[in-house]
Every structure is written in C-alpha cells, then in structure tokens.
Amino acid sequence: MRLTVEIRAVNHRYSEIQVRLPKAWSMLEDQVRKLVSRYVRRGRVDVTIAMDGKSQTASAVEIDWQVAGQLVSLSRTMAERFSLQEPLGVKELLLFPGVLHTKEMTEDSDEAAEWLLDQVKAAAIDLLSMKEAEGKQLYADLSGRLEQIEAWVKELQQLAPVGIEEYQTRLRQRLNEWASQAPFELDLARVAQEVAFFADKSDISEEITRLESHCLQFAKQLEASEAIGRKLDFLLQEMNREANTIASKANYLPISHLAVEIKTELEKMREQVQNVE
C-alpha cells in the first residue's frame, strides 16, 4: 500500500478544513479534521488522502435476524388469516430490504487507521514548518512597514501645529482682503473667534495620538505567540480610519501627502496580514 497525504492551505478569514478520504476510511474524517486543526487555526485547508496498491478491504455479509424473524412471523399470520398456500421462502426473505447487509471489513483496521493518522500528523507538521518559515518573512516585512509608518507619525506630530498656524494665517489674510473691500466694519473679536474655531476643526492631534497607540498595539501583537491575524486586521482598519480622518481634516499640503503615504502603506500591510494566522 502507498498512502499519500496532501494538505493545501490558503488565506481565509476563519478556519475551514475540508477532508477528502477514500470511501473505506470515511469514518476517520472527523479525527483527521481535529488533528489538522491543532496545527492550523486560521485559513482554508484542503486535506486529500489517497491510497494506491492492493486493497485491504473485503466484503462481509450480515443478516438482521430480528427483522427476518418479524417477517417470518408476519408471513405465517397472514397465511393463516388469508388461507395462503405458499409460505414466505428463503429467497424472498433475503430480498426483502433490511434483512441482508453488506459490510466492508478492513484487515488490521486499527493499525491501518493509526498509520494513516500518523501520516496526516507528519504532513500537518510539514505544513506548519512551511508556515513558520513564511511567517518570518511576513514578520520582517510588516515590521519594516510599521517602522516607516511610525516615522511618518512622528513627522505628523511636528507638522500638526505648523499646519494649524498656517491655516490660521491663510484665514486671516483672506478675511483681511475681504474686510478691506467690505462696505461695513467687521467685528475683529468675532473674526478672531471664528478663525480659532475653524483652526480647531483642522486639529489632528487626537487622530495622531490614536494612530500612534494603534502602532504600538500592532507591534505588540507581532510578538505574540497565539493566532493574531484577525487582531492585526482589525488594528489596520482602525489605523486606516485615523489616516482617512487626518487626510480629510488636513489643510496643509505636507500633512495631506503624509496621510496618503500612510494609507498606501496600510493597504499593503492589509494584503500581507491576510496571510497571517
């Protein structure tokens, strides 16, 4: 006998394990699924098991004597009640559904099942080894991109007050230009109040603080030993939300450019995180 165990895994939001077994071994499907789930906690996994060589199965015939006895008893009762001359024969009895069963028997089935599960375990360990090797590459890539985003966040912290000041200056200039042409005198105190109000609406300090916090959480999760893929995906969604808010509130070109760069890098990270268990 030759046994082939093939396990394929692709990214998936949840854990989904599909098992394909030879018909004679279909009773092991649940055991195979549970065994593979120890090594894969997220992703779509296809497990295909094939056997080549001399068949180790044989057919055994069994009779359900209880059903047969009931049929014979009913046959006799009917013969007496209706004065039937022909009793129920053996041939007719064997042809009746439920009397005869054909059962596939496997030689040394327990030993063969253990052998099959051992090979599934070996294949799952090989898969895990490959996933760990790929994980190291993903870790390096995500860590590098995260460092770049953290550097951009520090730049945003420095640019934020400059952006507010620049916005206030432009507002005052426009209002002064308009005031010089207005046919009435402006309330300068009210103008200053409105300028401060609009400048406050463009303040991105809160978004920067949250973005910085998400970066720290992301870095912490990268060092965790349990499954982190869905957590990383959630953090990236939150980081992208903050970047979008910064981009919409920014009235200073350098801040807008940085927000776009951050969003671009986050999108690349989201594609990679789909491969993280």
Q: Is the same domain home to 188 and 95? A: no
Decide: helix, strand or coil at residue 252.
Answer: coil
Task: Check residue 162 and give its pLDDT.
Answer: 79
Q: For the chain, what is the domain count?
A: 3
Co-location of 161 and 253 in the same domain: yes
Calpha distance 218→174 (Å, rounded)? 43
What's the Cα-to-Cα distance from 114 to each of 51, 216, 265, rounded to whole Å? Answer: 15, 46, 48
199-203-209 Cα angle (round to 5): 170
- Asked whether residue 167 falls in the same domain as residue 47, the answer is no
Q: What is the mean pLDDT of residues 86-104?
A: 72
pLDDT at 33 over 70: yes
**Average of pLDDT values for 26-48?**
92
Residue 58 is predicted with a pLDDT of 45
pLDDT at 246 over 80: yes
Please check the confidence at residue 196 and state whether its pLDDT lies above 60: yes
Residue 102 predicted with pLDDT over 70: no
CB–CB of 113/28 below 8 Å? yes
**Cα–Cα distance, 243 to 156 (Å, whole number):** 11
> pLDDT tens for residues 110-169?
788 899 999 999 999 999 999 999 999 999 999 999 999 999 999 998 888 777 677 667
Show the tokens assigned to 143. 């860590």
Q: Is 45 in the same domain as 158? A: no
**244 and 178 within one domain:** yes
DSSP labels for 101-149? EEEEEETTHHHHHHHHHHHHHHHHHHHHHHHHHHHHHHHHHHHHHHHHH
Domain of residue 154, residue span: 134-273
268 compared with 193, residue with greater pLDDT: 268
Check residue 45 and give its pLDDT.
94
Tell whether 73 and 162 lie within a shared domain: no
Q: Is 53 helix (H, G, I), strand (E, B) or coil?
A: coil
- Asked if 223 and 138 count as a contact pair (C-beta separation under 8 A), the reply is no
* pLDDT score recorded for residue 90: 78
pTM: 0.65
Say whether both 74 and 6 belong to one domain.
Answer: no
Instruction: Say yes or no to pLDDT of 242 above 90.
Output: yes
Question: Do 169 and 87 share a domain, yes or no?
Answer: no
**pLDDT mean across residues, the chain:** 83
Share of the chain above pLDDT 90, in %: 43
Separation of CA 59 from chain center: 43
Query: Which pLDDT score, from 0 to 100, does residue 125 have?
Result: 95
Query: Sorting pLDDT into bands at 50, 70 and 90, what band is 54?
Result: low
